[in-house]
Structure 1
Amino acid sequence: MAKNDPYAALRIKEFNIFLLVRFALVFGWSMQFVVIEWQVYSLTQDPLSLGIIGLCEFVPAFLLAPFAGHIVDKKEKRNLFTLCIALFSIISFGLFWLTTNYIETSWKTNTILYGIYGLVFFGGILRAFFGPTIFSLIALIVPKKIYPNAATWSSSTWKGASVFGALSGGLLIAWIGVNYTLGIIFLLVVIAFTLVFQIKKKPILYQQTNESVKESLKAGLQFVFSDKVILGALTLDMIAVLFGGAVAIFAVFAKDILDAGPKAFGLLNAALSSGSILTMFATTYLPITKNTGKKLLIAVFGFGVCMMIFGASKVLWLSLVALFLSGVFDGVSMVIRQTILQIKTPDAMRGRVGAVNSMFVGSSNELGALESGIAARIFGAPLAVILGGAVTLLTVTTISIKNKSLRDLDLRKDIADYEIGED
């Protein structure tokens, strides 16, 4: 295999199947997020209700993540992934059912709202398992020496699905309505479920010991918190998502700040991710293994600046440009973080490290939604986003000064070691 082959991971059949499954799931999940946010805000007209959605998903995802990581390390990954998809289909069908004409005309608004919150809570439980399962499964499908390339394609697929899912969600709400859009999401999950069986079962690399569940969880947390590079990378993304993000209150900007409708709402969601697609594809040709730490710091700093511009904008085109550029920086950050985690994590601990990653970054999406909703209610949406961007810039500056290991990180030697070991 040629060095710096931009299509190295795509030459593996199972990895292509994995990407198709992930695209279908993320496309559906992204559409579902947009539809739920729009539906709940339409029912309540209260930005705090959007934050409650985030809280309902954050609580189970965060609390169960350590236990999920322990289970993922001990179980066969393909079957576990299949089970997660099957359960996700139940959530998608439930949301479709709750938005039918029969339910909307015969149930009280609060009852429907609580039903949506309940399904979102169930989704949070699944999120605790999805993250570490996917993280572990990738490492079992591709050789170690092409982890950076696989991480790039996997992240690109995630972002691409997010873009088209968000855009399609906004357009389909306007075109066919909420209920039929949720029906399409259910079909996408069913397609993903049928495709996943084309991936073979994988070996379990967990070393069976006499350690208790508590000791196993402690070992995973200690590994992450003792590695300054991993801890610094996770902290950067956590703060950026928690305070710098504004996805949860895009409905407020679309309706109240920019005076636009559901189509513009979909564009706002898509713009945030669209820039990162081009960036991620570029990283397949221009690897990020040189001066990795500095590139990560610059990317997160740029993201914070762009979000501050978005918060201050009162016109749609400037808001879209700011979100597009924030997506560019976010794409670089995501690829670098995933590459660092894949290379620095021992095989037997991938589930637990993936779970901690979900706690730091994945769950911070939901907690960030709550933070955005509360801040928007107290300060107003524009000022809330500007303050969040400022917190992101402060965090990047602090970590760049205090964390020399991350600042000086260069992954070229790690990649070379893998290539030598596998040749």
Structure 2
Amino acid sequence: MTSATPAAPPAAAPRSDRYAWLVLGILCFVYVLNFLDRQLLSILAKPIQDDLGITDGQLGRLGGLYFALFYCILGVPVAWLADRGNRTRVLTIACALWSAATIACGLSANYGQLAAARMSVGIGEAGGVPPSYSIISDYFPPHRRGRALALFNLGPPLGQALGVAFGAKIAAAYDWRLAFILLGAAGLIAAVGVWAFVREPRRGATDTQPVAADMAGEAVSFWMTVKTFFATPTLLLVALAAGATQFVTYATLGFTTLFLMREKAMTLDQVAIWYALVLAIGVSSGIYLSGRLIDRYAARRPQVYGTIPAYALLLAVPFFIGFVAAPGWPLAMTFLIVPTFLNYFYLTPAVTLVQNSVAPRQRTLAGAVLLLIMNLIGLGLGPTWLGAASDWFRASHPDHSLQYAFYTLVPFYLIAAALHLAVARTVKRAHGVQS
């Protein structure tokens, strides 16, 4: 594993490769479906609760702990296999598996069957993102990688927005089960598209300073990569900071639709329009802008990998409180735009820092370790925490249990910002030592 300080860009940029952008577009589309399938449970929480009779705590575990255990833990060995084999093939199989499991969600007749289907979605999605990170990094050089990964990371907000728009519309017009079945079928078609159109790139093809082990074609040890990741302060800190941020973002995503409908008197049709717009504009703008800022400033001021997300999170706090406290959904939506934009300034810096800091043959596995840490913390614990908190507050505040549960997320904003500032100090120190 190389230094944690990203490489400076070359003097001249290579000519744009149209096929690289085609590959990026296909991978982004798959990521849209990946996140759409993942978030459909939270989008359709109200009709699912009404049909199956599950509590907020059970809903939180379905979307959080049960899903994350398989998604995060299996992601590491799958990524190791992808680093040693064909990443495109791994992605194709993974996409087909999670799409079939999404169809199974729509066919579930009780809580146990739905839990098993969600776990299966997690197993499939474990092979989705890390291979894509690595493939993109071998199609785009370091000085353009931040922008490329930022565009790829538009998958989550687009998936969230499309899920809210189409998932809610289908559920309102027909049935929540049909939404799962149709989206799963679309994922099976996408898996065929990956197999047919995405070529496996040569590892390290776009790196300006190849690592000796990779030039020799040596396979990097699984445990060596994992051990070095945890022993590198910058990489471990950025994973913990991203995890603390995702604790807030996944908890919020997991229950916002239910919160708006139950406590802000919003209908499913209104959610399909207004909340979809907030997600599409806010999250995608935050992810893309942070990537452009990283490409522009990181070579001269590497501490921006930490300071950009830290300041964004601190600025988001008062608007998040305004969203939770607003008396009705129109004002709540107005407040929600700002944290939806700022909460996602962490993702592209974290992914870019890790991808730029490791050898080409370690990128898939290093990306998987990053996802393991941040998703176990954020995806595994965030929705689980918020659902349990809502159940706990229900005894004393039956009409506003989710509102009080949302307030408990404010301290996690501050923890995440503090960790990102620690990342900034560590990256700056590493850069200063090597300058």
The TM tier, using the shorter chain, reads 0.7 to 0.9
Distance 2:419 2:200 in 1: 44
In 2, are the aligned partners of 1:242 and 1:368 still within 8 Å (CA)? yes
Distance change (3 Å), C-alpha of 1:317 and 1:220: farther
Q: Displacement of 1:402 after TM fit?
A: 8.3
| C-alpha distance in structure 1 between counterparts of 2:374 and 2:326, whole Å | 27
Name the counterpart of 1:294: 307
2:180 maps to amino acid:
L
Q: Give the aligned partner of residue 5 of structure 2.
A: none
Shifted more, 350-359 versus 308-317: the winner is 308-317
Residue of 218, 236, 257 corresponding to 1:231: 236
Which residue is equivalent to 1:385?
406
The residue aligned with 1:342 is 355
Please list the CA deviations of residues 58-79 of structure 1 after superposition, one character each: whole Å capped at 9, or x if unmatched: 1212332332232221121011
Q: Paired residue for 1:84, among 73, 80, 94?
A: 94
Q: CA deviation at 1:32?
A: 5.8
Query: Gapped runs of 5+ residues in structure 2?
Result: 1-8, 205-213, 394-400
Kept in 2, the 8 Å contact 1:234–1:360? The answer is yes
Partner of 1:278: 285
Q: 1:52 to 1:142 in 2, by over 3 A?
A: same
In structure 2, the residue corresponding to 1:87 is in which secondary structure?
Answer: helix
Q: Look up the match of 1:67.
A: 77
The DSSP-based 3-state class of the residue aligned with 1:332 is coil
8 A Cα contact 2:238 2:420, kept in partner: no
Alignment length (residue pairs): 394
Q: What residue in structure 2 maps to residue 248 of structure 1?
A: 254
Distance 2:284 2:327 in 1: 26
Cα distance in 1 for residues equivalent to 2:373 and 2:38: 23
Instruction: State the match for 1:307 in structure 2.
Output: 320
For the pair 1:258 / 2:264, whether they are aligned, the reply is yes
2:103 is matched with 93
Which residue is equivalent to 1:420?
none
Closer, same or farther in 2 for the Cα pair 1:2/1:342, shift >3 Å? Answer: closer
Q: Following the alignment from structure 1 to structure 2, what is the Cα–Cα distance between the partners of residues 246 and 9? A: 41
Residue 197 of structure 2 corresponds to which residue in structure 1? 198
1:170 to 2:163 alignment: no
> SS at 1:200's partner residue?
coil
Separation (CA, whole Å) in 2 of partners of 1:202 and 1:134: 11
Residues 258 and 183 (structure 1), Cα distance of their counterparts in 2 relative to 1, 3 Å cut: same
Percent identity among equivalent residues?
13
Report the Cα offset of residue 217 of structure 1: 4.1
Paired with 2:30 and 2:424, the residues of 1 have a C-alpha distance of 38
User: Which whole-Å CA distance do the structure 1 matches of 2:12 and 2:203 have between them?
Assistant: 30
Correspondence for 2:227 among 215, 222, 231: 222
Is residue 2:348 matched to residue 1:327? no
Rounded to whole Å, the distance in 1 between the matches of 2:158 and 2:35 is 12
Letter of the 2:407 partner, please give it. Answer: I
Corresponding residue number in structure 1 for 2:379:
365
Q: Does 1:181 align with 2:179?
A: yes
Q: Do the aligned residues in 1 keep the contact of 2:70 with 2:123 (CA within 8 Å)?
A: yes
The superposition leaves residues 160-203 of structure 1 with CA deviations (integer Å, 9 ceiling, x where unpaired) of 23322322222222123223322320232133123212111334
Change in CA separation of 1:338 and 1:316 when aligned onto 2, cut-off 3 Å: same
1:200-220 per-position Cα deviation (integer Å, ceiling 9, x unaligned): 1334677556x8xxxx44323
Q: Secondary structure at the match of 1:67?
A: helix
- RMSD across aligned positions (CA): 3.3
User: What one-letter code is carried by the residue in structure 2 that aligns with 1:140?
Assistant: D
TM-score under structure 1 length normalisation? 0.81
Q: What residue is the counterpart of 1:46 in the other structure?
A: 55
Q: Give the residue type in structure 1 aligned to 2:169.
A: L
Normalised by the length of structure 2, the TM-score is: 0.79
Residue from 332, 355, 372 that aligns with 2:368? 355
Deviation at 1:347, TM superposition (A): 0.9
Q: CA-to-partner distance for each residue in 1:90-138, whole Å, 9 max, x for gaps?
A: 113323434xxxxxxxxxxxx5321111111011112322222122121
Deviation (angstroms), 1:15:
3.2
Farther off after superposition, 267-276 or 151-160: 267-276
Q: Output the CA distance in 2 between the equivalents of 1:181 and 1:398.
A: 38
Which has the larger helix fraction?
A: 1
Seen in structure 2, the aligned counterparts of structure 1 residues 33 and 85 have a Cα distance that, compared at 3 Å, is same
Determine the structure 2 residue equivalent to 1:103: none
Structure 2 residue aligned with 1:375: 389
Partner SS state of residue 183, structure 2: helix
Q: Distance in 2 between matches of 1:26 and 1:40?
A: 22
SS in 2 for 1:357: helix
CA drift at 1:300: 2.8
